[in-house]
Structures are given as C-alpha cells and as structure tokens.
C-alpha cells in the first residue's frame, strides 16, 4: 500500500515535510469541462501564473498544473476556488511506498517436480490461490477479454531500450497504456511494485514457467504514475484514472493511497465508476481503523489484507468503508513463505526478467480482488454493481456478522464468486421462459412451421442456451449461454453487450438473407423469439449495460432492450405469416 509522503494542512495552507521529502509548489487545477482557451488565459492573468496541462491526455478533462511560490499558495487557492470556471484546485501531493512492502530478496524453495495444475513450477508456493479456490473458478472463467488497468509504478511488459518484459508475462496480453511520470507511451516499470501487482492479476499461467495469475486471459493496461523511487502525484493518479475509464478498462487496480483527501482524485473515481468501471483500492497499511484514500472515496471498493491463516494482517488498515478482505501476506505469521510471490524486477535490475519476489501488503490483496472481478466479468456479468454484489455475497464471512470493519463482507473466494456469477448468467430464468415460449409458439403456429423440432431448439439456444451444459467447462461453456451472449467469447468482455447485438438488427439481417429458403423459416422464427426472450430477460431486474446506450445500466438500457424485444417478436410474427402464405 502506497502511503502519503506529504500532507498539507489545508485550513492554514501550511506544509510539514518528513525527512528527505520535497515540498511541492505545484497546484492542481481542474477547470470546468469545455472552458475556452480565452477563459483559461483570463484565469492565468488573474492568478499571475501559467496553467499547463498535466499530460497530453488532460485536455478533455481540463487538468492543469501551475507553479507558485510557497507563500502564494493560500491566496491563489482562494482565488481559484472562488472562480466559477474552476471545479477544484488543491496542492499536488506526492506519494511513496512504505517500508513494510519490501520484497523478500529470494523466492521460496521450489517444490519438488510433480503433477501440478497448472504446471507453473512455483505455483504450489502460491498459498493465496488455494485460499480463494481459484482452481474451481478457472473451470468456468479465466477473465477472457477483460481489461484491467494497473495504476502503479508501470509494468515490465515490453522490450524497450534498457527495459525487458519479465519472463512470466510472456503470454499475457497488454493494451495501450501511458507513463504519466515521463509523459511517454512506454509505461515500463523501474521499481517492481506494479509488475508484481500485474502478475497477481494476469501472470501467464500453465506455461511451465514461474507462477500463475488469477485471471490469465485478462488484458493489462499499464499506467505509470509512480517513479523508480515509488513517488508520484495526485494529479497523475487522477489523470490515469480518467484515462483508464476513457480507454476501455473495466477494472481499475489501485494499490496506492494516503491520508489526504483529494477532491480531484475523488472526482476521477466517481467519473470512472459512472463509466462502468469497478475501482478496486487498497485500504492501507496503517495498522489502524481508518481506510485511506482513494479506497475511502464513494465508488471505490476497499480491500484489507489477511495472512495465510485468514487472520487480518498486522499492518492492514480497516474501517467503515471496507468492502472485503483478501490475501495480501503476513511475514510475521508465515515468514517469507507467508508473503505473496510473483515474477517482477528490482529498481536497479530492470533488465532482469527471472526474479520471483515475495511482497506483503494491502497492495498485494487488492490485485487478488481485481483478478477475481475479471473472472466474474468473464462469465458475462459486467455491470459493476452486479460484480461488486457478487464479490460481497460470495466472500467467506469472518465470524457471525454479515459485515465487520476489519474484514468487510468476508474473505475473497474466487470459486464461490464465479459460481454465483455463472448462476446469475446461466439463464435458468431464460431457460424456463424459452420452454414456455417454445410450447406457446408451437401451439399457435403449428400449421405454419416446417421442422418444428428445429424451431423449438432455436428458441432455447437463442433465448437461454442449455444451462446444465456449462458445467462441462471448456468449449461447452459457450453452448450453455444464450446465442446473443456468444459475443463474450468472440470479442471478450470488452465487446460484450453491444448496441447492435442487443437489438433486432442481427435477426433482421439474417431474415432478409434467408427468408426465401422455405425450410429455414421455422429456424428464423425460433431464433427471433429466443433473441427476444434474451433481451427481455436482460431488462428484468437490474438491466444489462448496453455499449453505446448513454448512461450505465439505467432506464435507457431497459427501454432499448424492451423495444427491441418487441421488434423481434413482431419480426417472428411476420415470418410466420409469410410462411403460411407460401
């Protein structure tokens, strides 16, 4: 967990500095979106200082920095925060990594060769994976296509200049990220913390190398906001959060935080959450009953840490905002073997690709939760409210209370989470609805349908899939899902639930192409009715979040689904009439 290096007493506008800590004289200024260049220039003249974009990605969000003298801070902040063109203005604080997450300098002794599943040789040393029962989860999901943004020190993900991709990320897929420290498109890790975090989420698995990752088929978006010394600014972190939300991340992992509340970071978390991103944050390593920021912000999912026995780690923070606990290691309890092992680098050895180091901290607990969130999304449950509900509902309670301030709703359990998510998405409701629709359709249109058995099968396959087939895993998992949900396997979770797929358009196009084939009309009717059932069921309760529909899983999504379900039923009726006449 990354703790605050600098704090500012905002009421008095004075600073105190820990030994060796620099005082920032930067102010972070968030202007109202759409502020014109002329208005910004007028504001610059008003305060007597230039406003410079925090990064090349800050223009849309209107994130600016301005350098001021220490004695001017109070006066300029007052001017800025009273100006209607300014949403927020505050000091740009620095952050750093605490001592108790230092890595163990050498990995645990490799186990004797044997038949392990997966076949990664150090996998038996990953006690945390056994604790959360990740092997059961892998039978149904490996996080395929889910994009997880790692906002940290970067990731050792590419061979570029002096940097190298670490060996056990060789098969992990990465999407475009950014280095907010150096303002480049190469967010390489020069510390090791971010690579370790990314490994827990999506280390290449079953490749006979090193260790495993929780969601090995997820994609990592590396975002560097912390330097080689482990320090960074609130401005860069907020900028990275918005970048992740805008560029398609579905999960954000922030193994960082501090004691100072930043309105600009809080707004960034709210922005990401509104865009449908699950924002998972470390509660802190303060050994106290206070969840640190950004984990304490509304919309964040706060994670505390437990050791190998499931007991709260000695360093872990806790508090009223806590959502869940997860394995983060505890060397006091289990020695070096009690920490979390992953492939990473060291600050002075960025080109060494074969280091396996054991870290401990809420920083390590958080990516366990982010990885399981990716597994949940890999089943097709992508609404962030539902993902968070699954994480909480499936957690193993600690004690008799449903929630407590140290463990939240309990300790993370991947197996139970994926089982619950699969049940939510398995379509038993759709299955019985499809059976009912099939019987009703065969009775109503019995004289109009060629190949009635094919028509009935089409209703079930399109509307519900065959839920019990999913239990077979592997390729059978797709057959257990409704036909419109096959986009999850074709395009990944990032392309699941698109505006086109969740509409009448695919069946309309198919019907236009095949209507002249008389023997296929029953199939078209069945697929149209089944597609309508799927859309109608997706509008039931908490609606699916449709990509391309404004807002997040709201009334517009429900309206879209219901209108298109009705259009599909009308299409089926038209085809039946045509079939009866010819």
Is-contact 313 307, C-beta < 8 A? yes
Catalytic residue check, 363: yes
**Residues facing residue 145 across a β-bridge:** none
C-alpha 349/C-alpha 162 separation (Å) is: 10
**Residues facing residue 31 across a β-bridge:** 86
- What are the structure tokens assigned to 534, written together? 């799927």
The residue annotated as part of the active site, out of 152, 168, 190, 239, is 152
DSSP of 321-336: TEEEEEE---HHHHGG
**Residues facing residue 93 across a β-bridge:** none
Q: Count the Cβ atoms, other than its own, within 10 Å of residue 22.
A: 10
- What are the structure tokens assigned to 305, written together? 């840490």
Closest CA to 322 of 223, 420, 395: 395
Q: What is the largest CA-CA distance in the chain?
A: 88
578: left (phi over 0), alpha (psi -120 to 50) or beta: alpha
Closest CA to 294 of 272, 265, 322: 265
The residue annotated as part of the active site, out of 3, 363, 422, 528, is 363
Tell me the backbone φ, ψ of residue 224, rounded to 5 degrees.
-95, 120
Handedness of CA 490, 496, 500, 504 (dihedral sign): positive
Is-contact 176 187, C-beta < 8 A? no
Give CB contacts under 8 A, 24+ apart, made by 295-298: 295/254, 295/257, 295/321, 296/261, 296/321, 297/265, 297/266, 297/269, 297/270, 298/266, 298/269, 298/270
C-alpha 358/C-alpha 211 separation (Å) is: 12
Show Cβ contacts of residue 319 under 8 Å, excluding neighbours closer than 6 positions.
Answer: 283, 289, 290, 291, 296, 302, 405
Helix H, strand E, coil C: the string for 443-459 is HHCCCCCCCHHHHHHHH
**Residues facing residue 179 across a β-bridge:** 184, 224
Show Cβ contacts of residue 265 under 8 Å, excluding neighbours closer than 6 positions.
Answer: 234, 237, 238, 241, 293, 294, 297
DSSP state for residue 103 in the 8-state scheme? P
Catalytic residue check, 106: no
Closest CA to 355 of 195, 205, 231: 195
* CA atoms within a 13 Å half-sphere pointing along the CA-CB vector of 130: 10
C-alpha 75/C-alpha 91 separation (Å) is: 13
Catalytic residue check, 368: no
The residue annotated as part of the active site, out of 49, 57, 191, 193, is 193
Return the active site residues.
152, 193, 363
């Amino acid at each position: 967990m990354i703790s605050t290096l600098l704090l500012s007493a905002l009421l008095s506008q004075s600073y105190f500095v820990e030994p060796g800590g620099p005082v920032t004289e930067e102010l972070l200024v968030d202007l109202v979106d759409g502020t014109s260049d002329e208005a910004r220039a007028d504001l610059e003249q008003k305060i007597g200082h230039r406003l410079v974009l925090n990064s090349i990605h800050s223009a849309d969000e209107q994130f600016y920095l301005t350098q001021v003298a220490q004695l001017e801070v109070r006066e300029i902040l007052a001017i800025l925060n009273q100006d209607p063109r300014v949403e927020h203005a505050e000091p740009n604080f620095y952050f750093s990594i605490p001592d108790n997450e230092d890595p163990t300098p050498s990995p645990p002794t490799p186990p004797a060769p044997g038949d392990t599943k997966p076949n990664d040789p150090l996998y038996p040393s990953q006690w945390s994976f056994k604790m959360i029962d990740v092997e059961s989860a892998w039978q149904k999901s490996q996080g395929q296509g889910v994009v997880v943004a790692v906002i940290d020190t970067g990731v050792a993900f590419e061979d570029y200049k002096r940097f190298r991709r670490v060996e056990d990320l060789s098969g992990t897929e990465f999407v475009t990220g950014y280095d907010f420290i150096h303002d480049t498109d190469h967010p390489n890790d020069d510390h090791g913390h971010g690579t370790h975090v990314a490994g827990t989420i999506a280390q290449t698995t079953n490749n006979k190398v090193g260790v495993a990752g929780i969601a090995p088929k997820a994609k990592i978006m590396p975002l560097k906001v912390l330097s080689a010394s482990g320090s960074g600014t609130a401005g860069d972190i907020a900028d990275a959060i918005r970048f992740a939300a805008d560029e398609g991340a579905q999960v954000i992992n922030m193994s960082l935080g501090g004691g100072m509340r930043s309105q600009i970071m809080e707004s960034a978390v709210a922005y990401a959450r509104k865009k449908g991103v699950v924002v998972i944050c470390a509660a802190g390593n303060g050994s106290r009953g206070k969840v640190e920021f950004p984990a304490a912000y509304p919309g964040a999912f706060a994670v505390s840490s437990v050791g190998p026995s499931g007991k709260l780690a000695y360093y872990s923070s806790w508090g009223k905002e806590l959502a869940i606990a997860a394995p983060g290691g505890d060397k006091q309890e289990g020695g070096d073997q009690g920490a979390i092992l992953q492939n990473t680098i060291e600050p002075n050895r960025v080109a060494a690709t074969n280091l396996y180091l054991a870290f401990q901290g809420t920083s390590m607990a958080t990516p366990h939760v982010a990885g399981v969130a990716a597994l949940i999304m890999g089943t097709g449950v992508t609404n962030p409210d539902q993902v968070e509900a699954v994480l909480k509902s499936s957690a193993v309670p600690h004690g008799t209370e449903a929630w407590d301030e140290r463990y939240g709703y309990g300790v993370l359990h991947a197996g139970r989470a994926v089982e619950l998510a699969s049940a939510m998405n398995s379509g038993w409701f759709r299955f019985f609805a499809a059976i009912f629709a099939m019987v009703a359709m065969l009775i109503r249109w019995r004289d109009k349908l060629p190949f009635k058995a094919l028509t009935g099968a089409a209703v079930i396959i399109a509307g519900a899939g065959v839920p019990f087939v999913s239990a077979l895993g592997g390729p059978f998992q797709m057959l257990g899902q409704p036909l419109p949900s096959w986009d999850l396997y074709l395009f990944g979770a990032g392309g699941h639930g698109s505006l086109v797929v969740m509409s009448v358009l695919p069946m309309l196009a198919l019907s236009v192409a095949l209507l002249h084939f008389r023997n296929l009309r029953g199939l078209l009717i069945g697929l149209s009715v089944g597609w309508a059932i799927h859309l109608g069921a997706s509008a039931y309760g908490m609606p699916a979040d449709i990509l391309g529909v404004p807002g997040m899983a709201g009334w517009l999504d429900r309206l879209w689904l219901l209108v298109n379900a009705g259009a599909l039923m009308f299409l089926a009726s038209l085809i039946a009439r045509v079939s009866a006449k010819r």
